[in-house]
Amino acid sequence: MISPPKLIATSVVRGSQKGQSHGGVFIVDFIQQSVNQVIDWNSGDIDFTGRGWDRGLRGIEFTDDAVWIAASDELFCYSPTFELLGSYRNDYLKHCHEICRQDHLLFLTSTGFDSLLVFNLETREFTWGLYLSRNGQQWVGQRFDPRARGGPPFANNYHINMVSVSSQGVFFSGLNTGALLSVDSQMNVQQFCSLPAGCHNAQRFKAGVLFNDTQSDAVRYVDPAGPQIAQKILTYPESALNYAGVDSSKIARQGFARGLCVIDEHVIAVGSSPSTITLYDMSVGKRLQAVNLTMDIRNAIHGLEVWPFS
């Protein structure tokens, strides 16, 4: 990495109330050590029954002339200057976390329905879904049409929070899957590798798997035939935190690792709370530098990607 690129990040604010910001979208420049907030998310129709359920903006993806950002139950399309171009809903999109594009298809995690959804970027409609369940120890994938009735039940058994798609296939995982899973064109679901409970952003990386081991406050790279590298998430003195102890459920805590993107074959960027983005060189196990957005402990990074526009 000659110099760090600009990054785009989304955030979620746990425990915020009506009329307050629930997060936003930020362009982060590591060279200038600057943060530019381009969207403040303060929607008035947010479900307040859970600590983080509908709050904030989530996964991020790009096409040649647009930025795609997911909220809990809506997909937004913005211009590179963040003019809203369109938004799309579906009855089976709920508590979305991450999204990933492959060609003209956008894959979204529908956490509330234990499903993956696919949005066709050419026709601008949700065209198919995969519902995940288990039969004993066997994972089962069932295809459904998100445009029709009779889809999966609202359940959230596995808390699917990550999908990554490439020429290697479709891979996804959740807090409660205990594994990075893959699905083929026949909807057969297989375990690629095991994962600790409670992890985020699991994805194939080089010869192994990279993920935020959120329960252990670490980011890990595991190569079955090589190194296993773990880096502790950056934390701050308790006296420096704002709103510390406000959440009795302990969900809003520092060191909570979520949001991860690969910059090159050595360097990755990791998000954490209070909203901080840190660069790590995983080839040598070294923290390089960090940018902090806020010391509000309720404010956590969610989506994180390299910013492709000048």
pLDDT in tens, the chain (310 residues): 678 899 999 999 875 444 445 789 999 999 999 999 999 887 544 443 443 445 679 999 999 999 999 999 999 999 999 999 999 999 999 999 999 999 999 999 999 999 999 999 999 999 999 999 999 999 999 999 999 999 999 999 999 999 999 888 999 999 999 999 999 988 999 999 999 999 999 999 999 999 999 999 999 999 988 878 999 999 999 999 998 766 544 566 899 999 999 999 999 999 999 999 999 999 989 999 999 999 999 899 999 999 999 7
Locate 4 and state its tokens.
């760090």
Residues 297, 303, 308, 310, CA torsion sign:
negative
Look up residue 75 and give its amino acid: L
pLDDT score for 155: 92
pLDDT score for 224: 86
Alpha carbon dihedral 181, 184, 188, 193, in 10-degree steps, equals -20
pLDDT score for 296: 92
Locate 165 and state its tokens.
């798609």
Nearest to 211 by CA among 262, 167, 137: 262
Residues 6+ apart with CB under 8 A from 223: 206, 207, 208
Q: Residue 14, Cβ neighbours under 10 Å: how many? A: 26
Pairing status of strand 125-135 against strand 60-63: unpaired
3-state secondary structure the chain: CCCCCCEEEEEEECCCCCCCCCCEEEEEECCCCEEEEEEECCCCCCCCCCCCCCCCCCCEEEECCEEEEECCCCEEEECCCCCEEEEECCCCCCCEEEEEEECCEEEEEEHHHCEEEEEECCCCEEEEEEEEEEECCEEEEEEECCCCCCCCCCCCCCCEEEEEEECCEEEEEECCCCEEEEECCCCCEEEEEECCCCCEEEEEECCEEEEEEHHHCEEEEECCCCCEEEEECCCCCHHHCECCCCCCCCCCCCCCEEEEEECCCCEEEEEECCCEEEEEECCCCEEEEEEECCCECCEEEEEEEECCCC
Quickly name the fold that domain 7-306 has. Neuraminidase (2.120.10)
Nearest to 131 by CA among 141, 123, 122: 141
- Compute CA 67 distance to the chain's CA centroid, rounded to the nearest angstrom: 15
Domain ranges of the chain: 7-306
Locate 3 and state its tokens.
């110099």
C-alpha angle 186-144-105 in degrees, rounded to nearest 5: 70
Locate 151 and state its tokens.
């889809």
